[in-house]
A and B are shown apart, each in its own frame.
Chain A
Amino acid sequence: MNEAKSNFTSRRILLASPYIVWVAGFTILPLIIIIHYAFTDAGGAFTFSNLGLIFSPIHLKAVMFSLEIAISSTVACILLSYPMVMAMRHLGLGKRTFSLFILILPMWMNFILRILAWQMILSNNGILNMILSWFSIAPLKIANTGTSIMIGVVYDYLPYMMLPIYTAIMDINEDLIEAARDLGAGSLTIFLKIILPLSLPGLLSGIVMVFVPSMTSFVISDILGGGKLQLIGNVIEQEFTTANNWHAGSGLSVALMIFVLISMAFTTKEHKEGRESVIW
């Protein structure tokens, strides 16, 4: 019996073989190739200079600006998500499918078009300023600034923060909250001592899903930054499309990857295994 069982298990592992081949071919191999490009020059000689490019003043400026956008957008997403999830909980909008529906549906309108729509809303003679003028409020001048990039980023990635936090909070056992309330805890105490700690795995997934793409996006900054404000994503894209320097572009990509991995290691250190499901 035992033998039969281990037989099943070992045969079941074989099911993963196509995937293992896939990972080797399409996850590991591309990484090896990009690292190879990053550490060689056009002649094929070994060099650190591509990686070092990230420290040149102009690139460093782009990195700092990307960090500023990424950190502020991630924080804004967190601050917008918790009240939303709590409100959904409060109103009993607990239907998982319903909330998934509301949050994912916007993705069915092409994201570049949606960002272009934000450009129409935020531009100096755009829709927002038109509405403000009805109330005789002075027009906002946020077109082509970091603020408008941030609005686009927050808009685009908000669902990726809300969904994991929502999943984590909806999984909390209602009895815990009832017990705390019976023992005299107020709403704030319940939130700080029960809901927030238990939602941490969801929060961490959310941070990972929002921070990395918001740091490296180049389309949003292209459109909402008016082409003048450069994120590190824009710099890398131009190395490949206009400058045609693949080694430099790869060097910057690998530097970015190392940076992201380091910052993620700090964020996910507490992320215990067994909760992989938290994203959806």
Chain B
Amino acid sequence: MKRFKDIISGIYIGFIAVLLYAPILVLIVESFNSSRSRVTWGGFTLSWYVKLFNNNQILEAFITTVLLAFGSAAIAILIGVPGALGIHAMGRKRYKTMMALTNIPMLNADIVTGIALMLWFVHFIPLSFGSVLLAHISFNIPYVILSVMPRIQQMNVSIYEATRDLGAGPVYAFFHVLLPELLPGILSGFFMAFTLSMDDFVITYFTKGAGVNTLSTMIYGQIKKGIKPEMYALSTLIFVLVSLLLSIGTGISAKKEH
């Protein structure tokens, strides 16, 4: 009976894994397809990978995407973590209000958030890399706050206060008491923010100016004419690299758990 259940569980997990990874496999295969047509297999080639490194447009979009993800995640941490600490110290009513406001960007449809920010930006600042960065920070902060808040709730704030009472400066107390406690929350918040920013299309699409392209908006622009195969090559490289880094990371943290 137990064996039977094991088999069923295994089959089901396999089914979901196929569902999640089938399209990714298709894209990886396409990156080695020498035929420009997506439906026919023209033989194995590495030429798209070579061409990728001569395609400045795609490389530029890639750099923009990474800078955006890294910058918006980092700034979201700098605003979100102190924000969460401050909100946690507030009275019940103000705490609830702030958390409700924090939930707005997560509850609102991306298209509404993107349009609302765009209408705001066109009145005051030029649509550019800067406006997209501001927009990404805005949707990243709630994820940072929501991943740090449980940590703050679990930790005993009195320890920080005791450290301070015993004469430690705020900087010392922050780095030696607070930060180690909050670090897992900060890291998962950063990772979430980075991932969401890399994968975002809708909000970038509405808040970007002409001439600014992330990988998402560039791919969207290519849909009608046909995706450049170099794009499959780049995506495959990103995917494989991140998988490797994450497996190493998970391996390390799994070892720590033991």
**Chain A residues engaging chain B, CB cutoff 8 angstroms:** 4-5, 8-10, 12-20, 22-23, 26-31, 33-34, 37, 80, 83-84, 86-88, 90-91, 93, 95, 97-98, 101-118, 120-121, 123, 125-127, 155, 158-159, 208-209, 212-213, 215-219, 222-223, 233, 236-237, 240, 246, 249-250, 253, 256-257, 260-261, 264, 273, 276-277, 279-280
Contact = CB atoms under 8 A, between A and B. Distances in A.
A9 B89 contact: yes
A268 to B, nearest CB: 9
27 contacts: A16-B86, A19-B87, A23-B102, A27-B105, A29-B120, A33-B120, A34-B119, A37-B119, A95-B250, A106-B21, A108-B242, A112-B220, A113-B235, A114-B23, A114-B24, A117-B27, A125-B39, A155-B20, A158-B20, A208-B107, A209-B106, A215-B109, A236-B115, A246-B119, A253-B115, A257-B109, A260-B107
Contact of A276 (B105, B150, B231): B150
A140 B149 CA distance: 48
Contacts of A15: 82-83, 85-86, 89
Best-surrounded residue of A104, A114, A256 (most CB of chain B within 10 A): A114
Dominant secondary structure of chain A at its interface with chain B: helix
Contact of A91 (B10, B192, B201): B10
A112 B119 contact: no
A95 B254 contact: yes
B34 interface: no
B117 A30 contact: yes
Contacts of B110: 213, 216
A26 B195 CA distance: 21
Q: How large is the interface on B (under 10, 10 to 19, 20 to 34, 35 or more residues)?
A: 35 or more
Nearest to A95: B254
Contacts of B21: 106
Given A114-B24, A240-B206, A22 B219 contact: no
Given A33-B120, A120-B38, A19 B115 contact: no
Given A13-B90, A16-B86, A27-B105, A106 B161 contact: no
Dominant secondary structure of chain B at its interface with chain A: helix
B123 to A, nearest CB: 7
B108 A260 contact: yes
B150 A277 contact: yes
Nearest to B138: A26
B166 to A, nearest CB: 12
B46 interface: no
Contacts of A219: 201-202, 220
Given A26-B117, A80-B16, A105-B246, A117 B23 contact: yes
Contacts of B132: none
A27 B134 CA distance: 11
